[in-house]
Structure formats: structure tokens, C-alpha cells
Amino acid sequence: MLEIDLYQPVKDYLQDHGYTVQAEVRHCDIVAQRDQQVVVVELKTSINLTLLIQATDRQTITSAVYVAVPETANRRSRQWRGTIRVLRKLQLGLLVVNFGPLGISVKKEFDPSGGSAITMPTNRLEAMEEIAPRKSKQHTAIIREIAGRSGSYNTGGVHQQKLITAYRENAVLIGCCLQHNGPSSTRELRKQGTGEKTSSILSANYYQWFERVSRGVYCLTPQGVSELKSYPELCLRAQILIERSSNLP
């Protein structure tokens, strides 16, 4: 079993509880948001020191940090009881994924002590009355990253893959605009909705997709043309935005 096998069941569980779910957000396997509440879930095939270090590090973001692992057959063992005790002392919550003959299910064993919890709100007011989130640089960065993404394109628990971050989405949009219109100025690109970071993304040229042809004017490199093909969903969305902006008076 791999960590990726845990992702979809946990994602479905959180969505059933009213959360918007994103994977691989600033090194977190799963980040779920509902109104003001942020929940972080770390996925592992077993509970080990690496998982505990990761999970406690996420507590700088939110008090609602859970670990998600496959259900074990040794729930009554001394080892498992000791593991539960450690998780509680570290104020971490636990989700257990059961891969049974009748299907896959997720059970919440317990919530983080002293923190906010995954709940099923009965109304909007109840959701807003949850414990206020921690205000930290990490928390703010997580919220900003989620807000900058147009959809959920990543899978939690997958390593060594190109992640679709808000920055990469913005770069793809800029690249698609240049591909559609040819060499363009930063002002022209911003008119098509590429955003305030257009100039910094072009000048940094992190992905080597852009080339400056004159002051403030850029074109797409052959590498950019080639690599844009790796993002069909984002390019389709970009094409829709380009067509909409072209039809504006």
C-alpha cells in the first residue's frame, strides 16, 4: 500500500463534512478549509517518527492537525495503545482508513486535544462559531496559496511530481496568453487577467518559459511551448479566460 491510496478516501471524507480540499499545499499532504477553519492531514502507511515530526510541524499552521493511516489488525496490541497515547500527548488527531471487503471507509478515532475538530455543521452559524484559526505566517501563506489555485489538480501522498501551485498556474496563464497573442507587454498581459505578479514571474523566469525581446515585452520560448502541453486542464481554462477578455469592450 502507498500513501496515495489513502488520499481519495480521506478527501471524500473531508468533502462529505463540507470542506474544500487541496493536496500538497506548502508541503502538507492535505489541507482542508471550511469558512475560517483550516484542517491539515498528513498521510502515512504507518505511524513513525517521520510522521510525528511532520505532523507537529504543521501545528504552527493550525491546531486541527490529523494523521491518517490504514487500519491495523493489532488494535489491542501494546504497540498500538502506546502509539495512541503518544498522538494524544502531542495533541494530534487520528483518522483510520479501512480497506474492507465491502468497500473503503474512514473513521475519526479522536480529535486533537485542545484544538478545533472535523465536524459536520448543521448550519452556517455553527461553522462560523468554530475555534478561531491560529494567526501565523504559515497559516496566512496556506490561505493565500489555496486562494490562488483555481482547482484541485494534485494528489496527496505522491512524491517527486510537478505540483500545480498558484505560482505555476499563473505562469501557465501567462504562457498561454503569449502563445495565443505572440510577444506581449506586461501591461497587455495584465489586461488579459494574468494578475499583479505578471512582471515578477516574467523577470524571474523560474521555468525558463519566457524570453525578453525588448523592454517590458516577452515571448514564449520553445521550452515553454513544449512544457505547456503538460498542463491540458490549465491551458483549457486559460483559453477560456483569454477568449472572455478578448470579448470585453
| Total number of domains in the chain | 2
Percentage of the chain with pLDDT > 90?
53
The sign of the torsion formed by the CA atoms of 85, 88, 92, 94 equals: positive
- 204/100 same-domain check: no
- Give the mean model confidence (pLDDT) for residues 53-72: 92
Domain-ending residue, one of 103, 122, 148: 148
**CA–CA dist 34, 131 (Å, integer):** 12
* CATH code of residue 101: 3.40.1350
Does residue 131 surpass a pLDDT of 70? no
- 28/99 same-domain check: yes
Domain ranges, residue 127: 4-148
- 140/171 same-domain check: no
In a domain, 160, yes or no: no
- 72/8 same-domain check: yes
Helix (H) or strand (E) holding 16, with range, is helix 4-16
Residue of 97 and 245 predicted with greater confidence: 97
**CA–CA dist 191, 102 (Å, integer):** 53
In a domain, 62, yes or no: yes
Residue of 181 and 27 predicted with greater confidence: 181
In a domain, 28, yes or no: yes
- Residue 230 C-alpha cell reads as 503538460
pLDDT, one tens digit per residue, over 83-126 is: 999 999 999 999 999 998 878 999 999 999 866 677 765 444 34
pLDDT, one tens digit per residue, over 187-217 is: 999 998 898 999 999 999 999 999 999 999 9
- Residue 63 C-alpha cell reads as 491546531
- 136/15 same-domain check: yes
Q: What is the CA radius of gyration of the chain?
A: 21
Q: What is the pLDDT of residue 149?
A: 73
In a domain, 68, yes or no: yes
* CATH code of residue 179: 1.10.10
- 52/112 same-domain check: yes
- 12/131 same-domain check: yes
- 138/28 same-domain check: yes
- 133/17 same-domain check: yes
Report the chain's terminal Cα–Cα distance, integer Å: 55
CB 219 within 8 A of CB 187: no
Kindly report the average pLDDT of the chain as a whole number: 85
Residue ranges with strand state E in the chain: 20-25, 28-34, 37-43, 65-70, 93-100, 103-110, 184-185, 210-214, 217-220
HEC profile of 87-139 = HHHCCCEEEEEEEECCEEEEEEEECCCCCCCCCCCCCHHHHHCCCCCCCCHHH
In a domain, 20, yes or no: yes
In a domain, 159, yes or no: no
- 84/139 same-domain check: yes
- 28/107 same-domain check: yes
Domain-ending residue, one of 90, 121, 148: 148
**CA–CA dist 105, 109 (Å, integer):** 13
pLDDT, one tens digit per residue, over 157-171 is: 666 567 778 888 899
In a domain, 155, yes or no: no
- 11/120 same-domain check: yes
In a domain, 156, yes or no: no
